[in-house]
Structure 1
């Protein structure tokens, strides 16, 4: 298993992610990542850097175990107190596609399940 190759890279992005998470409460957010930041951390080759993280109340609800990039982003999110506060009572989907654009969609969780 890979050892947190992307954690340092994600930590550098956390101020931007924090800002976009706040803005995502009103509308979906997107911003372009610098692919060389990730390529220098580790080569994903054909598998690429695409992933989806679905969270409810700050807990991942889908399987991200196959993506070191996603796992390390989640580690960086959990370590950021301001971000974990933003995730309370919310459903958040963070994804990165082939074009290397990070998307954030946030919805409020209903009190009624």
Structure 2
């Protein structure tokens, strides 16, 4: 397991991510990350920095074990109280593509789950 080398980098982005998370309630949000911030933290080489991070109620629902960048982002998100509160009752997908564009898409937790629990 790698030591959290991207955590400091992500913590610098937390205020921007917090802002975009709020805006993502209305529409998908994207903003460009600074590639040199991540390259100076650790070289991912050919594997790159791309990842998908899917969360429901603040818990990761996809496998991010192979991506130190995604794991460290999740740690940074959990450490921020405002973001932690925002993640509750929501389904959020955060992804970073090859062009270093971070995209945030937020939906409320799937309705079928609440419907089935009421039966």
Smaller-chain TM-score bracket: over 0.9
Distance 1:82 1:75 in 2: 14
* Higher normalized helix content (fraction of residues): 2
| TM-score normalised by structure 2 residue count | 0.93
Q: What RMSD, in angstroms, separates the aligned Cα atoms of the two structures?
A: 0.7
Using the TM superposition, give the Cα deviation of residue 68 of structure 1 relative to its aligned residue in structure 2, in angstroms. Answer: 0.2
- Larger Rg over CA atoms: 2
Q: Which residue of 2 aligns with 1:63?
A: 63
Separation in 2 of the partners of 1:68 and 1:96? Answer: 13
1:1-113 → structure 2 map (5 Å cutoff): 1-109=1-109, 110=111, 111-113=114-116
Q: Which runs of 5+ in 2 are unaligned?
A: none
So what's the TM-score if we normalise by structure 1?
Answer: 0.98
The count of residues paired between Structure 1 and Structure 2 equals 113
